[in-house]
Structure 1
Amino acid sequence: MTRSTEATIRGFLDEVRSGRSPQRAPEFLAPVVLAHQMRAGARETLERTPANYAEHVEEMIEMFGAFAFTVDELLIDGDRGYARWVQHGHHAGLIDGREPTGRPIETLGSAVYRVHEGMIVEYWIQQDAAGLAAQLE
């Protein structure tokens, strides 16, 4: 039985991206995922594996501490889903070359995920880099 697009994305966000269980990434991500990362003035596409995505989440935990992750919106259309979230943590580790201050940090993000046969195979992500930079000043 193949999971629905919604169940796949919701499970991924709730279990993996939330920082709750990064090691569960292989349950939701295809062996190679195209990750289109968009920041103002810069776009790049990375090939992510479940293992390096789990490492990425562990790095976020090092930077932000045990953060709270809330999905504010999840819209599904066929094999794609759009999610918008807010993450609350603390400046617990080195972020963009800035030493930890312990101050609260809120980050906003959104992504469109493409699902094939119950696995995320591609996503387009946008993060509020300017908002994060302002909080690190």
Structure 2
Amino acid sequence: MTADPVAVVREFLDVVRSGVEPDRAARLMAPTITAHQVQAENPTTITRTPQEYAEHVEEMLVAYGPFRVEVDELFGSGDRVYARWTQHGRHVGTVDGIAPTRRPVTQVTSCVYRVADGRIAEYWIQIDRWGLRAQLGTGQAVPGDDGRTVSGR
């Protein structure tokens, strides 16, 4: 029996994306995931493994400390699940060359996940990078969210 897509995404957000247990990505994500970084100025699609995603979450923990993820909306239709969350942390590590400011950081993100065979197989994510830069005091957008920068994706 295949797990309910909304339940899969809920567990992923609560356990993996939140930084509680990033290594559980291997159980909740397909062996290869297509990640669409949806941004007007530089849309990018990357492929990553659950291990790479777990490493990405670990990078966010270094950059923002133990952060809190609040799921604001979560609903699905068929194999697609929409999620919007707010992440609260503190700028404690270098982010895109910006030294730690110790300032609180709030990031608002929305994402559509495609779940296949009980695992996340693909997603389309949007993050307010301009808002992050404003909070870090730089007034400039975070460089393209291409999987190489830490910007909360």
TM-score (norm 1): 0.98
Q: 4+ runs of 1 displaced by more than 4 Å?
A: none
1:89-128 maps to which residues of 2 (within 5 A)?
89-128=89-128
Say which is worse superposed, 35-44 or 59-68, in terms of deviation.
Answer: 35-44
Identify, as 1 or 2, the structure richer in strand.
1
Distance 2:37 2:20 in 1: 23
Cα deviation digits, residues 66-86 of structure 1 (max 9, x gap):
001110000111100000000
For residues 38 and 56 of structure 1, the distance between their equivalents in structure 2, rounded to whole angstroms, comes to 18
- Which ranges of structure 1 fall in alignment gaps of 5 or more residues? none
Match status 1:26 vs 2:26: yes
Render the CA deviation track for 1:30-62: whole Å, top value 9, x for unaligned: 000000012230111110100000000000001
Q: 1 CA distance for matches of 2:112 and 2:104? A: 27
**Residue 112 of structure 2 aligns to which amino acid in structure 1?**
V
Letter in 1 for 2:25: A
Shift of 1:96: 1.7
Quote the Cα distance in structure 2 between the aligned partners of 1:54 and 1:88: 19
Distance in 1 (alpha carbons) for counterparts of 2:20 and 2:72: 17
- In the alignment, structure 1 residue 14 sits paired with structure 2 residue 5: no
Return the offset for 1:7. Answer: 1.1
Instruction: Specify the alignment match of 1:49 in structure 2.
Output: 49
User: Which residue is equivalent to 2:35?
Assistant: 35
- The DSSP-based 3-state class of the residue aligned with 1:20 is coil
The residue aligned with 1:65 is: 65
Supply the RMSD in Å over aligned alpha carbons. Answer: 0.7
Structure 2 equivalent of residue 134 of structure 1: 134
Quote the residue 1:74 is aligned against: 74
For residues 90 and 115 of structure 1, the distance between their equivalents in structure 2, rounded to whole angstroms, comes to: 31
The C-alpha deviation readout for 1:92-129, integer Å capped at 9, x for no partner, is 10112100011111011010000011011000000000
Aligned length: 137
Asked if the contact 1:39/1:129 (under 8 Å) is kept, the reply is no
Identity of aligned residues (%): 54
